[in-house]
């Protein structure tokens, strides 16, 4: 007989606990849903998602495709990282383009709606065309007040809408994957991660991230208090002046809406230090489309966006 | 008493916190729960400037003469408009030692359902009472539910001590009354703390107003309460989630059983039994991503390989040959009912237990538990929304279960309405059939 195990020997760090929980969620959903897919945005959260999915099914390949919405306004560095990951994992990538959706008449460009908002319609159309029953998303509950009540398995009606008053109770780690015809599920394996957890995990794993997360010299101009990248898709308006600054991005998205912050953080250690003392939320700092109203996120979720 | 002086002022260093604590909060409306959570977030520096500014602006525009910290945890717009919270919300904060996940459960009609949900994953329950009112029927109910859900640690925070002149007598009276009530429950660890959520006393910083109190501050207790030993490390339980078959040249013959360890410690070389088939084999290896590891314990997610070519699929359970749950189709459980249409005998439902789905028939409802008085009402033959009762079920597939008191993972299940797909009940399996 060996001595009974003591509890001190069997401790998992909180990051390992989060990882174990997320892997459990990935496996659960892969087993229960007929046709899942992973929403890949190219951002740090979806990189963590890919890493977790890689670990969950290893040595098998990820048993579902990745879906990316091509806004036509994505940072080239992000697309490069995406391609590197896809080829390393041998994963299947489906790109749904907003421009194509507009051409096909699935999405209406009325000149008022932001491209980020048009993602919603493009995504829902892709889900329908491909017949996906569950979509993994990288949303975290700490991102937004409106997300604090989101479930891990978030149930959407046949219009892809989210009804915050009609969510299923979620107990223990028993996720309810029952679907009715036409309904589908959004699945959020990172629900319990915070922004800092994401960065700590990326440092622990040492995996490739889009280079724009790290401080670099870039030609930028000020708009609405944010540094915007000079690019053909986002021309300067009158009175805006292009200067070179050392900047980095805290979130990646549509380059006409995503602002950079001035920073010297060119390594993960420095980024973590910077975030640890940051006094402004990541969305508050750099996401133009969320600043329109406090409840913008909630509205987009109700419409079916993540 | 400024937050700057507090021990958590150095939160968020470059190193991640090592440990994780999940806790559920409970309190009646206006006991100060939102204020307390706001205080914990603020004093642990988990609030960003833009969030705080928004809350300060709102407080100012409403004519308050202090910043209403409760606004920090406000949820969805419709609720904001109605001024109420209706659902479990999850909040996060961290100190250098621990990361915290708060399941914030609102205090009114949908109460039991929400609280059971929030408590299901909690290591600790935090019950708030207003010092001026003392224990109410609701506080007792909160304690009963936390005990039923086997939340191993309980904190009773006596709030608004500033409004009762920091009276030691009042603290002692509520403390005694609660301790007496708690003897009827299963609460292994109880701490009672006098606080002012609004002013911050004994939340993060020790209060000068309560020299008679020698216990920990709330934050100190949350940071140091020992939760690692709450797991069962003796009875090995591994519900199979997913069969990994790479079908690649490199891993041609690889066949692994992926899952999250629900109990005990698994090691290569262990003799195991696969349930419900009863076939036996030996653990050949345990994979954690691309590494083979020596031991797997809860809550690790791993992939187990067996030495023999036995038939294993999702929903099966791997356990030790001489320590395995007995497959059973007759389940005796406490069920919390979560939907308007009552639960009745003869009803058919879907059931999910660990990774196993099946169907079940309600054979009998033995009694309804009055969560305020603990009275067992044997006359009622139905369970309404937010009611809890002892129920006998017959399942179509055998469940590989343990008593909930031994293992919260293998002892719990959910009931699903087959028509709507909605989760309608939560069950905790009793020991003995
Ligand atoms: N004097 C005093 N007032 C408090 C304290 N905690 C909360 N309050 C007030 O009590 C009221 C209800 O608090 P709130 O946090 O919204 O309660 P909830 O309904 O439990 O979330 C608010 O006006 C708070 O400012 C306290 O410790 N002392």
Q: Is the pLDDT of residue A287 over 60?
A: no
Residue B231 contacts A, CB cutoff 8 Å:
yes
Q: How far apart are the CA of A202 and the nearest CA of chain B, in angstroms?
A: 12
Question: Which residues fall within 8 angstroms of residue B305, CB to CB, at 6 or more apart?
Answer: B254, B255, B256, B257, B283, B284, B285, B286, B287
Lowest mean per-residue pLDDT among A32-41, A193-202, B11-20, B101-110: B11-20
* Strands B356-369 and B301-306, bridge-based pairing: unpaired
pLDDT at site B45: 75
Q: What is the mean pLDDT of residues B291-317?
A: 97
B69 Cβ inside 6 Å of ligand 1: no
Q: Among B78, B98, B99, which would you mutate to test the A interface (most chain A Cβ atoms within 10 Å of its Cβ)? A: B99
3-state secondary structure at position A251:
coil
DSSP B142-160: HHHHHHHTT--EEEEEEE-
pLDDT at site A300: 46
Nearest-CA residue of chain B relative to A178? Answer: B421
Ligand 1 centroid to Cα of residue B29, in Å, is 9
C-alpha to C-alpha distance for B183 and A293, rounded to whole angstroms: 51
Looking at chain B from residue 59 to 78, which residues have their Cβ under 8 Å from any Cβ of chain A?
73-78
DSSP B47-99: S-HHHHHHHHHHHHHTT-SS--GGGGG---HHHHHHT---S-EEEEEE-SSEE
3-state secondary structure at position A74:
coil
The verdict on a CB contact (< 8 Å) between B92 and A192 is yes
State the first-to-last Cα distance of chain B, in angstroms, to the nearest integer. Answer: 55
SS3 content of chain A, % helix, strand, coil (to 5): 40, 15, 45
pLDDT at site B106: 73
pLDDT at site B203: 96
Of A12, A179, A281, the CB nearest to B300: A12
pLDDT tens-place string over residues B30-59: 889 889 998 998 888 777 677 777 777 777
pLDDT at site B3: 36
CA dist list (Å): B369 to B170, B335, B366, B393, B410: 31, 10, 10, 17, 23
Picking from B335, B345, B331, the residue whose alpha carbon sits closest to that of residue B433 is B331
Q: What are phi and psi of B138, to 5 degrees?
A: -65, -40
C-alpha to C-alpha distance for B124 and B102, rounded to whole angstroms: 10
The verdict on a CB contact (< 8 Å) between A27 and B116 is no
- Chain A positions in Cβ-Cβ contact with residue B104 (cut-off 8 Å): 148
Q: Does the N-terminal peptide bond of residue B407 adopt cis geometry, omega within 30 degrees of 0?
A: no
Picking from B206, B221, B198, B430, the residue whose alpha carbon sits closest to that of residue B332 is B430
C-alpha to C-alpha distance for A83 and A80, rounded to whole angstroms: 5
The verdict on a CB contact (< 8 Å) between A148 and B51 is no
The verdict on a CB contact (< 8 Å) between B412 and A281 is no
Q: Does the N-terminal peptide bond of residue B276 adopt cis geometry, omega within 30 degrees of 0?
A: yes
Nearest-CA residue of chain B relative to A54? Answer: B289
pLDDT tens-place string over residues A88-122: 999 999 999 998 888 888 888 887 776 667 888 88
3-state secondary structure at position B100:
strand
- How many beta-carbon pairs below 8 A join chains A and B? 210
- Chain A positions in Cβ-Cβ contact with residue B88 (cut-off 8 Å): 149, 169
Position B422 confidence tier, pLDDT thresholds 50, 70, 90:
very high
Position B111 confidence tier, pLDDT thresholds 50, 70, 90:
confident
DSSP A82-125: HHHHHHHHT--EEEEEHHHHHHTTSS---SSS-HHHHHHHHHHH
Measured at the CA of A215, the angle between CA A213 and CA A219, to 5 degrees, comes to: 100
Q: What is the mean pLDDT of residues A198-221?
A: 95
Q: Is the pLDDT of residue B4 over 60?
A: no
B33 Cβ inside 6 Å of ligand 1: yes
Position B109 confidence tier, pLDDT thresholds 50, 70, 90:
low
pLDDT at site A116: 64
pLDDT tens-place string over residues B122-142: 999 999 999 999 999 888 989
HEC string for B202-216: CCCECCCCCCCCCCC
Neighbours of B145 (CB within 10 A): 25
Neighbours of B59 (CB within 10 A): 17
C-alpha to C-alpha distance for B114 and B106, rounded to whole angstroms: 7
pLDDT tens-place string over residues B359-395: 999 999 999 999 888 899 999 889 999 999 999 999 9
The percent of residues above 70 in pLDDT, for chain A, comes to 84
The percent of residues above 90 in pLDDT, for chain B, comes to 69
Q: How far apart are the CA of B423 and the nearest CA of chain A, in angstroms?
A: 6
- Chain B positions in Cβ-Cβ contact with residue A165 (cut-off 8 Å): 78, 86-87
Burial class (CB in 10 A: 0-12, 13-18, 19+), B181: middle
pLDDT tens-place string over residues A146-163: 788 889 999 887 666 767
Q: What are phi and psi of B77, to 5 degrees?
A: -60, -45
pLDDT at site B8: 37
């Amino acid at each position: 007989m060996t001595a009974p195990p003591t509890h001190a020997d069997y401790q998992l760090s909180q990051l390992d606990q989060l990882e174990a929980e997320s892997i459990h969620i990935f496996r659960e959903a892969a087993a229960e849903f007929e046709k899942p897919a992973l929403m890949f945005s190219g951002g740090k959260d979806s990189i963590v998602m890919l890493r977790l999915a890689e670990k969950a099914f290893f040595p098998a390949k990820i048993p579902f495709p990745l879906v990316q919405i091509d806004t036509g306004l994505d940072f080239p560095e992000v697309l490069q990282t995406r391609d590197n990951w896809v080829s390393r994992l041998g994963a299947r990538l489906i790109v749904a383009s907003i421009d194509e959706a507009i051409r096909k008449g699935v999405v209406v460009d009325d000149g008022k709606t932001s491209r980020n908002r048009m993602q919603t319609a493009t995504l829902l159309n892709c889900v329908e065309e491909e017949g996906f029953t569950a979509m993994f998303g990288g949303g975290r509950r700490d991102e937004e007040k409106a997300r604090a009540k989101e479930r891990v398995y978030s149930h959407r009606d046949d219009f892809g809408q989210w009804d915050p008053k009609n969510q299923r109770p979620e107990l223990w780690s028993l996720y309810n994957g029952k679907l009715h015809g036409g309904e589908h599920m959004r699945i959020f394996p990172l629900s319990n991660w915070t922004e800092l957890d994401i960065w700590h995990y990326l440092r622990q794993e040492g995996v490739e991230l889009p280079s724009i997360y790290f401080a670099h010299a870039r030609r930028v101009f000020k708009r609405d208090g944010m540094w915007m990248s000079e690019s053909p898709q986002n021309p300067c308006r009158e009175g805006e002046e292009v200067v070179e600054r050392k900047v980095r991005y805290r979130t990646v998205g549509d380059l006409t809406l995503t602002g950079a912050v001035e920073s010297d953080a060119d390594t993960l250690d420095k980024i973590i230090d910077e975030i640890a003392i940051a006094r402004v939320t990541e969305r508050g700092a750099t996401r133009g489309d969320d600043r329109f109203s406090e409840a913008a996120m909630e509205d987009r979720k109700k419409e079916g966006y993540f | 008493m400024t937050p700057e002086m507090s021990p958590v002022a150095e939160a968020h260093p470059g190193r991640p916190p090592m440990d994780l604590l999940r806790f559920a909060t409970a309190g009646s409306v206006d006991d100060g729960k939102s204020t307390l959570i706001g205080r914990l977030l603020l004093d642990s520096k988990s609030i960003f400037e833009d969030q705080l500014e928004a809350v300060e602006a709102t407080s100012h525009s409403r004519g308050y003469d202090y910043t209403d910290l409760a606004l920090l945890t406000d949820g969805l717009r419709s609720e904001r408009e109605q001024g109420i919270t209706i659902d479990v919300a999850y909040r996060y904060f961290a100190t250098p030692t621990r990361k915290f996940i708060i399941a914030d459960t609102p205090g009114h009609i949908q109460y039991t359902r929400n609280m059971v949900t929030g408590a299901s994953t909690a290591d600790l329950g935090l019950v708030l009472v207003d010092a001026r009112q003392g224990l109410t029927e609701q506080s007792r109910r909160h304690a009963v539910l936390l005990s039923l859900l086997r939340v191993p640690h309980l904190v009773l925070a006596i709030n608004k001590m500033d409004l009762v002149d920091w009276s030691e007598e009042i603290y002692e009276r509520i403390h005694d009354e609660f301790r007496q009530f708690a003897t009827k429950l299963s609460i292994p660890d109880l701490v009672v703390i006098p606080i002012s959520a609004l002013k911050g006393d004994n939340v993060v910083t020790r209060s000068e107003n309560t020299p008679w109190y020698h216990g920990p501050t709330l934050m100190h207790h949350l940071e140091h309460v020992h939760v690692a030993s709450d797991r069962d490390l003796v009875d090995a339980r591994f519900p199979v989630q997913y069969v990994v078959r790479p079908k690649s040249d490199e891993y041609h013959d690889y066949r692994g059983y992926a899952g999250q360890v629900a109990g005990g410690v698994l090691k290569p070389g262990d003799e195991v039994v696969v349930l419900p088939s009863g076939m036996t084999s030996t653990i050949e290896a345990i994979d954690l991503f691309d590494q083979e590891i020596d031991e797997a314990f809860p809550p690790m997610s791993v992939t187990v390989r067996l030495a023999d070519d036995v038939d294993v699929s999702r929903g099966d359970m791997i356990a030790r040959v001489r320590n395995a749950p007995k497959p059973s189709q007759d389940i005796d459980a406490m069920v919390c009912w979560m939907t308007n249409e009552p639960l009745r005998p003869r009803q058919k439902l879907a059931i999910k237990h660990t990774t196993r789905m099946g169907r079940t028939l309600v054979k009998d409802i033995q009694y309804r538990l009055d969560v305020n008085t603990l009275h067992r009402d044997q006359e009622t033959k139905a369970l309404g929304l937010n009611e809890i009762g002892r129920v006998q079920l017959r399942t179509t597939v055998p469940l590989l279960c343990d008593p909930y008191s031994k293992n919260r993972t293998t002892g719990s299940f959910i009931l699903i309405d087959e028509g709507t797909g909605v989760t309608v009940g939560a069950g905790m399996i009793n020991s003995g059939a």
